[in-house]
Amino acid sequence: MDIKAYISSGILEQYVLGKLSPQEEAEVAQKAEQHPEIRQELDAIEMALEEYALLHGKMPPPGVLSAILQRLHAEQQLPGQAPTRRRRLLSYAAGLLLVVAVAGLLAFYQKTRQQEGVIAGLNQQMEAVRQSCDSVQLVAQQLENILDFVRQPATRAIAMESTGLSPDAIATVFYNPETQRSLIGVGQLPTPASDKQYQLWAITGAGPVSMGVFELAAGGQPLQEVSFVSDAQAFAVTLENRGGSPAPTLDQMYVLGNNS
Partner 1 sequence: MTDTRKKLPLDKDILRLLQERDQRAITLLYEYYSPALYNIILQLVRTEAIAEEVMQDAFLKIWEKVEQYDPKKGRLFTWMVRICRNMAIDTLRSSQFKKGNKTDSISDSVYNDETLTQSPKETDPGLRKVVSKMDEQSRKIIDLLFFQDYTQSEASELLGIPLGTIKSRSRKAIQDLRAILKDEGLASFLLFSLIETVRRYLGY
Point out which residues bind partner 1 (CB under 8 A): 8-14, 16-19, 29, 32-33, 40, 42-61, 64-65, 67-69, 71-73, 75-76
**β strands within the chain, DSSP E:** 156-162, 170-176, 181-188, 196-204, 207-214, 223-226, 234-241, 253-258
Helix axes 22-34, 36-55, angle to 10 degrees: 120
CB of 84 to partner 1, least distance (A): 19
CB of 12 to partner 1, least distance (A): 8
Query: What is the rounded CA–CA span in Å between residue 228 and residue 177?
Result: 8
- Is residue 70 classed as helix, strand or coil in its secondary structure? helix
- Is residue 204 classed as helix, strand or coil in its secondary structure? strand
Q: Which is nearer to partner 1, 68 or 105 (CB)?
A: 68
Q: Which residue type is seen at 147? A: L
Q: Which is nearer to partner 1, 65 or 217 (CB)?
A: 65
CB of 106 to partner 1, least distance (A): 50
Say if CB 154 and CB 176 are below 8 A apart.
yes
CB of 73 to partner 1, least distance (A): 8
Say if CB 155 and CB 176 are below 8 A apart.
yes
Query: What is the rounded CA–CA span in Å between residue 90 and residue 222?
Result: 79
Q: Which is nearer to partner 1, 47 or 98 (CB)?
A: 47
Q: Which is nearer to partner 1, 64 or 247 (CB)?
A: 64
CB of 26 to partner 1, least distance (A): 10
Q: Which is nearer to partner 1, 49 or 105 (CB)?
A: 49
